[in-house]
């Protein structure tokens, strides 16, 4: 019990003590990816809430990068990541084979660029499809990894596999819906939220360091009591950047 209290307090201290990043300068290649004529109108309509230019700049994704994108959904960020990575880079879009009650398994995403490979894996068999990655990216779905329908063996094992797949100095970018402070993973399956302090504790436990955090997606009007799908994209979100230490 005492160990759990100490771990929670440490994560909370890290969250409050790490300086919030200033608004990043958006590189020209990020601006070009956003302006690409093939971007669907539905994606563009979401930009006002998701702030992709600023998020991508914060993450530091650049041309030539090898990126592992976890649970890409319908490809909102995949389409941007693959344009930024370019012909000298690669994006590995990694989904989980699962059945969602009432909806069935999600349809596979069609690769939006030639440099995108799409794979689906059962949680218990999860492995990153490549090593030496520059970035691993998960957006609005780290909380889902705690759900029984995903079937991961443990979060520690999952985060260690992400750590091992990154090159030294590589980035693990986590964006997700914020839950109430101290709630841990309690609301993951109901409100689809997670306490950012829990994410910090889990990810840093395998060797990552918290390299930066930003409140650019925060929304103080969200009281953390409603399911995020009822908020029209305006949930309170956190943005964390973890780095694998350079050897």
Tens-digit pLDDT profile for residues 55-80: 999 999 999 999 999 999 899 999 99
Convert the pLDDT of each residue in 168-180 to its tens digit.
Answer: 999 999 999 999 9
The rounded mean pLDDT for the chain is 89
Query: CB-based burial of residue 45 (10 Å sphere; 0-12 exposed, 13-18 middle, 19+ buried)?
Result: exposed
Angstrom distance (rounded) from CA 144 to CA 176? 10
- Residues 70, 105: contact at Cβ < 8 Å? no
Distances (CA, A) of 36 to 32, 41, 49, 84, 231: 6, 11, 19, 11, 28
pLDDT at 2 over 60: no
CA distance 182 to 186: 9
Q: What is the architecture of the domain spanning 2-243?
A: 3-Layer(aba) Sandwich (3.40)
SS3 47: helix
**What are the percentages of helix, strand and coil residues in the chain, rounded to 5?**
35, 20, 45
């Amino acid at each position: 019990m005492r160990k759990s209290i100490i771990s929670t307090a440490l994560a909370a201290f890290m969250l409050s003590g790490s300086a919030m990043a200033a608004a990043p300068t958006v590189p020209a290649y990020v601006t070009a990816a956003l302006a690409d004529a093939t971007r669907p109108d539905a994606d563009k309509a979401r930009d006002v809430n998701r702030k992709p230019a600023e998020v991508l700049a914060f993450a530091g994704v650049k041309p030539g990068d090898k990126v592992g994108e976890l649970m890409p959904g319908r490809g909102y960020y995949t389409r941007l990541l693959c344009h930024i990575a370019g012909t000298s880079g690669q994006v590995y879009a990694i989904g989980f084979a699962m059945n969602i009650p009432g909806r069935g398994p999600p349809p596979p995403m069609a690769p939006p660029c030639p440099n995108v490979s799409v794979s689906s894996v059962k949680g218990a068999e999860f492995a990153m499809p490549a090593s030496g990655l520059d970035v691993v990216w998960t957006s609005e779905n780290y909380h889902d990894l705690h759900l029984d329908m995903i079937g991961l063996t443990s979060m520690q094992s999952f985060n260690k596999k992400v750590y091992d797949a990154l090159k030294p100095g590589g980035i693990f970018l986590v964006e997700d819906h914020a839950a109430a402070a101290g709630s841990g993973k309690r609301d993951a399956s109901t409100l689809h939220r997670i306490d950012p302090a829990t994410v910090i504790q889990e990810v840093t436990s395998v060797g990552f360091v918290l390299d930066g955090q930003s409140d650019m997606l925060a929304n103080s009007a969200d009281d953390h009591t409603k399911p995020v799908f009822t908020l029209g994209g305006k949930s309170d979100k956190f943005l964390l950047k973890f780095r694998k230490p350079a050897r």
